[in-house]
Chains A and B, each alone.
Chain A
Amino acid sequence: MRPESLLVPTPAGLCCPDGGFHIDPVRRVDKALITHAHSDHAKPGHGAVLATRETLDLMRLRYGDGFAGTTQAVSYGETISIGGTTVSFHPAGHVLGSAQIRVERGGLVIVASGDYKDVPDPTCQDFELVPCDVFISEATFGLPVFRHGDIGAEIAKLMRSLALFPERTHLVGAYSLGKAQRLIALLRAAGWDRPIFLHGAMEEITHYYAARMDLGELRAVRDGAKGDFAGAVVLCPPSALGDRWTRRFPDPISCFASGWMRIRARARQHAVELPLVVSDHCDWDGLTRVIPATGASEIWLTHGAEEALVHWCGTKGLRAKPLHLVGYGDEEEVEVIEAATAAAAPDAPTDGSATDEPA
């Protein structure tokens, strides 16, 4: 059978006609297999959802109890037969519960990897290499200039700034699901034992993580008194940086943890004072390490800079093509756009607890 018949790109997302399911559909479908809980991959309103326990829990936290008709939790490595196909979920190393989905029929194996990274992350299971015939890879950071480097050095940069400016709040913009909790874990490992403050938008998800791992003392910004924020680390969604919400903090330093911070113009565009190159996606070296290692002879690329990776695959004798799936993006970008649209009409604060006037 041709791989193009096993998984077909459609406007709703990647579709498996034999199994009657979609992977990470962007429109409402009957049966959805979901790689991870980021909002561009996990939409509410599907008939039945198959995903890891953590992904289902995180979707419930975001969308409420009725986010899907029925749900079924799957463990990593467990095989499930759906309409003549065999599917299984494998750790993707992206965020808590994130999975690559392996689809097999008649000896043909396709792996849809969702978003992934192959470097260690204390808040989720390590990426597992799944041999396959066709590997579907993201290309978010698909240019050789994206090299995320040593994350320890980035955390050290933040620690050094905290020591140099002990009276200023270090306001760290980080995506609410995954990035924020990874930063907390890394800061704890680096010896930062003061309470870490959370923006209202990331409290619930962080407490979900904290029930599964030690993240130290976490406090809500809204419960903090003015004096608590001197020299404190405060985590917030990237869209809250520069918001009026930040006026409660003493002389805040605007930090942003993202793979995009590798590019100076990007960091300046966000008026970031302390860019931290921390990404939950593979960098170029990771992509070009993983892709050949899967043994796949054919590579399908989704969201990002596919062109450069298609070229690179060509130089390695790998057949590669972009899938042109619509609707996926980098979750940070998605969030910034969503926040801008939401705030466009009335000037609503991004945090429900935030007051309008500077405190």
Chain B
Amino acid sequence: MNRFAALLDRLAYEPGRTAKLRQMTDYFRNVPDPERGFALAALTGALTFAHAKPGLIRTLIAERTDPVLFEMSYDYVGDLSETVALMWPSSPSPGGGGSLAEGEWGGVKPQTPASPITPSRTASRSDLPPPGGGEESTPSLADVITTLQTLGKAELPSKLTHWLDGLDETGRWALLKLVTGGLRIGVSARLAKTAVAALGDKEPDEIEVLWPGLVPPYENLFAWIEGRAEKPASGDPARFHPPMLSHPIGADDFSTLEPKDFIAEWKWDGIRVQAAAGTCPDGRRVARLFSRTGEDISASFPDLIEVLRFDGAIDGELLIVRENRVQSFSVLQQRLNRKAVTAKLIAEFPAHFRAYDLLVEGDEDLRDKPLTERRARLAALIERLREPRIDLSREIPFADWDGLAHARANPAQVGAGPDAEAIEGVMLKRRDAPYLPGRPKGLWWKWKRDPFIVDAVLMYAQRGHGKRSSYYSDYTFGLWRKGEAGDELVPVGKAYFGFTDEELLKIDRFVRQNTVNRFGPVREVTHEADQGLVFEVAFEGLQRSTRHRSGIAMRFPRISRLRFDKPPGEADRLDTLMAMLDAAEQTPSSGGRVLDPAAARTGKRKGG
């Protein structure tokens, strides 16, 4: 448990993806089975046991500490698990013993002071942790998890107490995070699997494919990755197949491509998913929905799972469709944000599957076949299904690139009608292309709609994290509006990318030389009509928001250009965005979101 706790502790502070991977791979390399397998299960959220309630934790600490001191401490720390982890009275450790007599503390001896340091011993101990990661009294992660999975509710308090007694501050913190559910340390299941794959130079997709057939502590998986055993067999009829991805198309690419070699489809703004279903040898039906990275998201969409009545794997887009209208991404997001999937949620946000491609039908793997053949098979399958929640992504007819450009700029007029709000561009796919996992060159292209742009004024800057910790790289920008004493700037959004390294240096220098105020890590930067820095900000859409002072929230804002040449007084006004929103709200399916330029005539689209 100590090694796992140390890993969680480091991951919780680590901002960088590659550093997180290295921490995890190092852990998986050095910690034996089954401990590491249970760690992988915890990191991927693959564990199911009844979580301990905060009330129980409070009761346990109340029995052991002075209530006044607890309240003061909780108030200071602000997090229950952390407060309890730090305050929990430690049992006397063997070989401890301070220079002074020990006082009494609520019937429990206080923690003994750190024994005189013997660093060489400390170092070697940390290099070679004992299996299971700790002294005899320290519970292993494997113990904790297997016990939790079978433990009755009544036994939990005494078991938890016993474990807490055997751990140090970090160990107790990790244990409490584990038993209360939700590690929240910024590691996705995909990242944890990627770290495992790196143990043996495997691709993370290979693990995703096997994943539904694997169970903790995954000893067969580690054995294969480390070259000690054959690949675990996947007899699962609803497996994940690594998806094929596209490249953004550049202006120069068109001259090298022939329109007739391609089909075009709308690029729907939902979530890319894969629906897989089949029948087990014992006759049991299995249906699953996977995210693009192979995460099993079936539990969130029971309404879709129950209609996956086919054998095979289909690549498609998850959308919300109300009264035959595809809803915008912000509507889908409202369903994704809810933890509990209730009947009400399902009724309000009906899930829909729009099919792009057929990878497997029955026992037949179609991925080597050309797209045209796969699409024909897909169309026939959907026809047979006769399921209103599943339909085929339609082709956009076009004769030449100009025609497609027209469709891309005006989806509402070119067949998408009121669904245009949920379109974020067009896709081009080579007719003869096989379905290849990853991002092969030249076969699939995405041509996204142009972003909206607005000229905004830099107001506040904050230091970044990790590599950017010495740079002011997170920016809050604002637009003008009428205030009580004339025009004033109101913050409308934050952006921390979109600029080059060179531009970052320029902005950083500007921030340091034009600071007018400091609030902890944040600097307020000069923003007057005649002094300040203007950013051209690109964004994908707008929504009303009560959380922001300006009343709006931007989707995906980024800095597209620095306008050192432009006086801040000439930057845009909040009214411009408000007018875009007002116009969008005339369109029923938009959910108050702006995406379609036709619906927001006043808005500017970059280059469009």
Enumerate chain A interface residues (CB-CB to B < 8 A): 118-120, 122, 126-127, 129, 143-153, 155-157, 159-161, 164-165, 186, 189-191, 241-247, 251, 254, 262-265, 267-269, 271-275, 285-286, 288-290, 292-293, 305, 307-308, 311-312, 315-316, 340, 344, 347, 358
Contacts and interface: CB of A to CB of B under 8 A. Distances in A.
Given A243-B470, A274-B10, 8 more contacts: A145-B86, A153-B122, A165-B22, A189-B119, A264-B12, A289-B98, A289-B101, A347-B512
B561 interface: no
A191 B520 contact: no
B14 A273 contact: yes
Given A144-B86, A271-B465, A308-B72, A262 B169 contact: yes
Given A189-B120, A289-B110, A269 B520 contact: yes
A152 B119 contact: yes
Contacts of A344: 515, 518
Nearest to A145: B86
Nearest to A341: B518
Contacts of A122: 117
Given A143-B73, A159-B123, A118 B99 contact: yes
A118 B97 CA distance: 12
B119 A147 contact: no
Which of B70, B113, B125, B126 has the most chain A CB within a 10 Å cutoff?
A: B113
A190 B120 contact: yes
Contacts of A165: 19, 22
- The 7 A-B pairs of least Cβ separation, nearest first, read A190-B119, A152-B122, A145-B86, A189-B119, A156-B126, A347-B512, A145-B73
A286 B113 contact: yes
A273 B119 contact: no
A164 B463 CA distance: 26
Contacts of B125: 156
25 contacts: A120-B116, A129-B100, A147-B169, A150-B168, A155-B119, A165-B19, A189-B117, A190-B122, A241-B469, A242-B463, A242-B469, A243-B470, A244-B470, A246-B469, A246-B470, A254-B469, A264-B12, A269-B520, A273-B15, A274-B13, A288-B105, A289-B98, A289-B103, A340-B518, A347-B515
B69 interface: yes
Interface residues of B, number: 62
Contacts of B117: 120, 122, 151-152, 155, 186, 189
B567 to A, nearest CB: 24
A307 B69 CA distance: 9
A311 B69 contact: yes
Given A246-B469, A254-B469, A289-B100, A144 B114 contact: no
B169 A149 contact: yes
Given A143-B76, A160-B126, A293 B119 contact: no
Contacts of B512: 347
B87 A145 contact: yes
A118 B100 contact: yes
Contacts of B10: 161, 274
B233 interface: no
A72 to B, nearest CB: 30
A159 B66 CA distance: 37
Nearest to B104: A316
A113 to B, nearest CB: 14
Contact of A312 (B69, B115, B168, B469): B69
B113 A118 contact: yes
A311 B87 CA distance: 16
A286 B466 CA distance: 35
Nearest to A312: B69
Contacts of B77: 145, 263, 265
Contact of A271 (B26, B86, B126, B463): B463
Contact of A308 (B14, B69, B513): B69
Nearest to A292: B103
Contacts of A254: 469
Contacts of A191: 119-120, 123
Contacts of A269: 520-521
A156 B90 CA distance: 21
Contact of A289 (B83, B113, B463, B513): B113
Contacts of B169: 147, 149, 262
B127 to A, nearest CB: 8
B119 A285 contact: no
